[in-house]
Amino acid sequence: AQSVTQLDSQVPVFEEAPVELRCNYSSSVSVYLFWYVQYPNQGLQLLLKYLSGSTLVKGINGFEAEFNKSQTSFHLRKPSVHISDTAEYFCAVSSALDYKLSFGAGTTVTVRA
Amino acid sequence: DGGITQSPKYLFRKEGQNVTLSCEQNLNHDAMYWYRQDPGQGLRLIYYSQIVNDFQKGDIAEGYSVSREKKESFPLTVTSAQKNPTAFYLCASSLGETQYFGPGTRLLVL
Whether the pLDDT of residue A68 is over 70: the answer is yes
**pLDDT tens for each residue of B6-59:** 999 999 999 889 999 999 999 999 999 999 999 878 899 999 999 999 999 999
- Judge: A99–B97 Cβ closer than 8 Å, yes or no: yes
Whether the pLDDT of residue B1 is over 70: the answer is no
Angle subtended at Cα A32 by Cα B41 and Cα A67, rounded to the nearest 5 degrees: 95
Average pLDDT over residues A92-98: 86
- Judge: A106–B104 Cβ closer than 8 Å, yes or no: no
Which of A9, A101, A104 minimises the CB distance to B99?
A101
Which of B99, B100, B103 minimises the CB distance to A42?
B103
**pLDDT tens for each residue of A29-42:** 888 999 999 998 89
Task: Note the pLDDT of residue A1.
Answer: 78
Average pLDDT over residues B65-71: 97
CA torsion sign for B15, B64, B42, B31 is negative
Residue A20: other Cβ atoms inside 10 A: 12
Average pLDDT over residues A45-60: 95
Task: Note the pLDDT of residue A8.
Answer: 95
